[in-house]
Chains A and B, each alone.
Chain A
Amino acid sequence: MFKFFRRNKEPEKVIEQKTEQALEKTRTGGVFEQIGKLFEVDDITDDFWANLETLLLQADIGYNLTEKLIEESQRRTLDENTKRTKDVERIFRETMIAVLQEAQGKAQSSVDAIHKREEQDREWERKKREKEEAKKNKQKSVPVAPISIPRNISADGEKRPYVILVIGVNGSGKTTSIAKLARYYQNGGGSVVLGAADTFRAGAIDQLKLWSDRVNVPCVAREPGSDPAAVAFDTVKYAQDHKIDIVIIDTAGRMQNNHNLMEEMKKIERTIEKAQVGAPNEILLVLEAVIGQNGLSQARIFTDAVGVDGIVLTKLDGTAKGGVAFAIANEMKIPIKYIGTGEKADDFAEFESEAYVHALFRR
């Protein structure tokens, strides 16, 4: 169990390629594909916009963002004085990408966006061609940015573990995502330790331990029913003692309206801070793709309680595509950071807005 990380067998593995692979698994039809097909019409009519609205609502985008996307797209269509479906499709995609990117802190004012329009258009075409070529010679890898391992260096220059706390409601896929995240950082050359702080659900500790064996990272655990904050504390200490780069802590699923469990989560956070000043360095909220508008309430309440730095969108290999994550990006400015696309440890990728939006509407 305490075998430390193996050398990565495929060091040339790179983000973009992985995103592509992961997204390949999301090709399962569903409402976004229908949206893509909507753009196959000859003319943009009122009916077109009405249909778009219907489909966006069915994609769990929510009323507010649906209205915003349509108004924005219509306005820009008018500005550009175009009626070509190809233009409208591009505008619509750009609008969606802008929502996601704004949440990622890469906001671009809409004026800039219009100026950059043609450039982006060409870029899109170019990427499309590249992708087609990449598909043809799949064997060749296209090296882009390697996975970056977050380094946590203290003021006096000492290396300390980077602590990630993973939270979410019951059944969203926290434990599986943690295993995947561990594998992901391992592939990038980092050492990882897992903390089994879901001491409540029957079998949760066993589940994380099994995963830790599979992906070959150590796992710190106590007895079922023990104090989750203590487990989190132990895990951080273990990482400090063993000079491990990254700590990932699993927590029990909790409903955001359950006062006591939310207090428990705050305590876990405070205890981690006691183990290491400034930690947890990252708090990830796990949302499953079939979630509806409740996802917004989760993002709000979990943010109020402990602050959420990013979202892991899971189960994207199903037909649902997590439309509410767009609404969360729009209203809360919380970015999607990772996507999960299956039950294997490698069914996982860093989230990339453009690739994602283009993949969504692929047809």
Chain B
Amino acid sequence: MFDTLSDKLESVFRGLTGKGKLTPTDIKTAMVEVKRALIEADVNLGVANDFIAKVEEEAVGEAILSSLTPGQQVVEVVNNKLIEMLGGESTGLTLASQPPTIIMMIGLQGSGKTTTVAKLALDLRHRKQKPLLVAADIYRPAAINQLEALGRQLNIPVYSEGNQVAPPLICQNAIAKAKSDGNTVVILDTAGRLQIDELLMNELVEIKNRVNPTEILLIVDAMTGQEAVNVAGEFNRRVGITGVVMTKMDGDARGGAALSVRSVTGVPIKYIGTGEKASALEPFYPDRIASRILGMGDVLTLVEKARAMYDEEQATKLQEKMMKGKFDLEDFLNQMRNMRKMGPLGSLLGLLPGVGKQIKELRNALDTPEAELMLKRTEAMILSMTPAERTSPEIIDSSRRKRIAKGSGTSVADVNDLLQQFKVMRQMTQKMSNGKDLDMASLMSGMGPGMPGGVNSRKQATSRPVDPLAQFKGSSGGGATGAFKKGKKK
């Protein structure tokens, strides 16, 4: 997400921060580059011009130019303006005080409405709501089948009346049904339409008038070009939208649409879709997205992802074990599995600060089947150990090593490497447990500056005593990186 834009901005800012003194001309030149980067990222031209003007006005101020670190200050200004452009505060979904909450999903064809309906329903169910999905797209062939298939997969009820009943009526009936069935949220999946299609836009207005939705969410494909603002503007003018969901943010979209839509319509972005899985929907936080764009990482989202996949009770137990220095291979295995649940490793690395261009190679490598294979191999080795071996790895002698290697289809050298890594990791956790707080957040944020070093260590022997990545492993089961190291050596 935003990689291209981040890379470009990073190189512009590197030029600025390298200078001890900045002149207004320096800033002007840099801003020309920034503007170009924004346009190439599909930021609306008007929005880009506006943005540049604001940044320039503030950045050429006396206070900044005469500061000791003018470059840093300019980046700070850009960051603030970006957050402003993205809407400042994060805005969540509004739930009706009197259920059911009615959410109407609208957008162009192919923007991802039906998929988002399913994701949103899943998210709401996690929040103890009882969603009902409504198939109001009677035009696209098999749209109803698609929603029904998703409903079956997630075990969420779908209301449909086939494709012969007018959508406003279907929606109205669905709400009556939801009330009698005790559903607390009704999500209307409407047909994709062009914002200039009079007939279909009138249909939306009619649905709106009949069911009086709590939220009208516009689904926008993050890859949309300059036209995004016209589309959003027109939908807003005709139907009135309460929020935007940006989809397909997992692509290498430049995200310009996300940057523009909010500033042109004034309507907040509420969610972003980040993948094909039903769980790939994240709340939208302007400050975090700004950080990601500027290559400053997004540790908060990483921590939240970890938390979401993490059983609270399990976490407390683990913490206790770590404090007592009793962290064992069984925990290591659990950690590794949790980590994998969080998503592709490469994309997780992208959330870390300072993980920019230089280790993009590593990020890509981590998302390959080979890296996946390494993870599986580590898993296989641990699974080939007896419970006793997992809790006290010290007892694993050469005969046991042979057996484990055989059982997991690996070599004794592989087993040795794993045990060596685990030893280092255990030392680390013991060291850390002497410190005060031991929660995910502090573990993870602590490793930020060490990241580039971690890359080097990838190429070196495993015996390096305090490998910065080891912290990473310690906190969330990095059989990943360890195993990866192995893969490269072979």
Q: Does A associate with B in a complex?
A: yes
A interface with B by C-beta (< 8 Å): 28-31, 54, 57-60, 62-63, 169-173, 200-204, 206-207, 209-211, 214, 224, 255-260, 263, 288, 290-295, 297, 315, 317-320, 323-324, 343
Return the contact of B112 from the options A170, A202, A260 (Cβ within 8 A). A170
Would you give the 0/1 interface string for B237-252, flagging 1 where the beta carbon is closer than 8 Å to chain A?
Answer: 0000000000010111
Whether B369 is near chain A, meaning CB under 8 Å from some CB there, is: yes
| CB<8 Å pairs between A and B, sample of 20 | A31-B226, A57-B226, A58-B45, A63-B39, A171-B110, A171-B112, A171-B248, A201-B146, A202-B114, A255-B250, A288-B110, A290-B231, A292-B225, A292-B254, A294-B251, A297-B4, A318-B231, A319-B194, A319-B227, A320-B225
Q: How far is the CA of A169 from the CA of B111 in the complex (A)?
A: 11
> Taking A203-B146, A207-B142 as contacts, is the C-beta distance between A255 and B225 under 8 angstroms?
no
> Taking A60-B226, A203-B143 as contacts, is the C-beta distance between A255 and B41 under 8 angstroms?
no
Among A59, A203, A258, A315, chain B packs the most CB atoms within 10 A around the CB of: A203
Q: How far is the CA of A144 from the CA of B364 in the complex (A)?
A: 51
Q: How far is the CA of A37 from the CA of B257 in the complex (A)?
A: 26
Would you give the 0/1 interface string for B403-445, flagging 1 where the beta carbon is closer than 8 Å to chain A?
Answer: 0000000000000000000000000000000000000000000
Closest residue on chain A to residue B112 by CB atoms: A171
| Inter-chain contacts of B109 with A (CB < 8 A) | 171, 173, 315, 343
CB distance from A334 to the nearest CB of B (A): 18
Whether B319 is near chain A, meaning CB under 8 Å from some CB there, is: no
> Do B41 and A293 touch (CB < 8 A)?
yes
| Inter-chain contacts of A258 with B (CB < 8 A) | 250-251
Would you give the 0/1 interface string for B101-115, flagging 1 where the beta carbon is closer than 8 Å to chain A?
Answer: 000000011111010
Would you give the 0/1 interface string for B1-17, flagging 1 where the beta carbon is closer than 8 Å to chain A?
Answer: 00010000000000000
> Taking A202-B145, A343-B139 as contacts, is the C-beta distance between A256 and B230 under 8 angstroms?
no
Q: How far is the CA of A29 from the CA of B227 in the complex (A)?
A: 12
8 Å CB contacts to A: which residues of B383-420? none
How many residues on chain B are close to A (CB under 8 Å)? 52
> Do B110 and A292 touch (CB < 8 A)?
no
8 Å CB contacts to A: which residues of B186-242? 194-196, 221, 223-228, 230-231
Q: How far is the CA of A259 from the CA of B223 in the complex (A)?
A: 18
Q: How far is the CA of A200 from the CA of B369 in the complex (A)?
A: 19
CB distance from B252 to the nearest CB of A (A): 4
> Do A294 and B40 touch (CB < 8 A)?
no
Whether B61 is near chain A, meaning CB under 8 Å from some CB there, is: no
Return the contact of B141 from the options A200, A211, A224, A260 (Cβ within 8 A). A211
Q: How far is the CA of A206 from the CA of B148 in the complex (A)?
A: 12
B interface with A by C-beta (< 8 Å): 4, 36, 39-42, 44-45, 108-112, 114, 139-150, 153, 194-196, 221, 223-228, 230-231, 248, 250-254, 256-257, 276, 364, 367-369
| Inter-chain contacts of A60 with B (CB < 8 A) | 42, 225-227
> Taking A171-B110, A171-B112, A293-B254 as contacts, is the C-beta distance between A202 and B153 under 8 angstroms?
yes
> Taking A293-B254, A294-B254 as contacts, is the C-beta distance between A255 and B194 under 8 angstroms?
no
A-B pairs with beta carbons under 8 A, tally: 153
Return the contact of A263 from the options B150, B256, B369 (Cβ within 8 A). B369
Return the contact of B149 from the options A31, A54, A203 (Cβ within 8 A). A203
> Do B145 and A206 touch (CB < 8 A)?
yes
> Do A207 and B252 touch (CB < 8 A)?
no
Among B150, B250, B253, chain A packs the most CB atoms within 10 A around the CB of: B253
Return the contact of A202 from the options B4, B111, B149 (Cβ within 8 A). B149
A171-B110, A210-B142, A290-B228 given; name 20 further pairs at CB < 8 Å.
Answer: A54-B45, A58-B45, A169-B251, A171-B109, A171-B112, A173-B109, A203-B142, A204-B146, A206-B146, A259-B369, A290-B221, A290-B224, A291-B223, A292-B225, A292-B228, A293-B254, A293-B256, A317-B194, A319-B231, A320-B225
CB distance from B261 to the nearest CB of A (A): 12
Q: How far is the CA of A258 from the CA of B252 in the complex (A)?
A: 9
| Inter-chain contacts of A260 with B (CB < 8 A) | 367, 369
> Taking A260-B369, A318-B196 as contacts, is the C-beta distance between A62 and B111 under 8 angstroms?
no
> Do A58 and B226 touch (CB < 8 A)?
yes
> Do B149 and A59 touch (CB < 8 A)?
no
Return the contact of A319 from the options B139, B142, B196, B251 (Cβ within 8 A). B196
> Do B252 and A257 touch (CB < 8 A)?
yes
Q: How far is the CA of A292 from the CA of B248 in the complex (A)?
A: 13
> Do B141 and A210 touch (CB < 8 A)?
yes
| Inter-chain contacts of A295 with B (CB < 8 A) | 223, 225
Among B114, B142, B367, chain A packs the most CB atoms within 10 A around the CB of: B142
CB distance from A242 to the nearest CB of B (A): 24
Return the contact of A294 from the options B39, B148, B223 (Cβ within 8 A). B223
Q: How far is the CA of A259 from the CA of B372 in the complex (A)?
A: 12
Return the contact of B230 from the options A171, A200, A319 (Cβ within 8 A). A319
Closest residue on chain B to residue A66 by CB atoms: B39
> Do B149 and A224 touch (CB < 8 A)?
yes
> Taking A60-B226, A63-B40 as contacts, is the C-beta distance between A294 and B252 under 8 angstroms?
yes
Closest residue on chain A to residue B192 by CB atoms: A171
CB distance from A250 to the nearest CB of B (A): 12
Q: How far is the CA of A288 from the CA of B150 in the complex (A)?
A: 25
> Do A292 and B256 touch (CB < 8 A)?
yes
> Do B250 and A291 touch (CB < 8 A)?
no
> Do A172 and B110 touch (CB < 8 A)?
yes
CB distance from A346 to the nearest CB of B (A): 15
> Do A173 and B110 touch (CB < 8 A)?
yes
CB distance from A312 to the nearest CB of B (A): 13
Return the contact of A318 from the options B41, B142, B194, B252 (Cβ within 8 A). B194
CB distance from B198 to the nearest CB of A (A): 12
| Inter-chain contacts of A173 with B (CB < 8 A) | 109-110
Q: How far is the CA of A29 from the CA of B44 in the complex (A)?
A: 18
| Inter-chain contacts of A290 with B (CB < 8 A) | 108, 221, 224-225, 227-228, 231
Q: How far is the CA of A54 from the CA of B39 in the complex (A)?
A: 11
Q: How far is the CA of A171 from the CA of B368 in the complex (A)?
A: 25
> Do A169 and B248 touch (CB < 8 A)?
yes
Q: How far is the CA of A59 from the CA of B276 in the complex (A)?
A: 30
Q: 3 nearest interchain CB pairs?
A: A292-B225, A203-B146, A171-B110
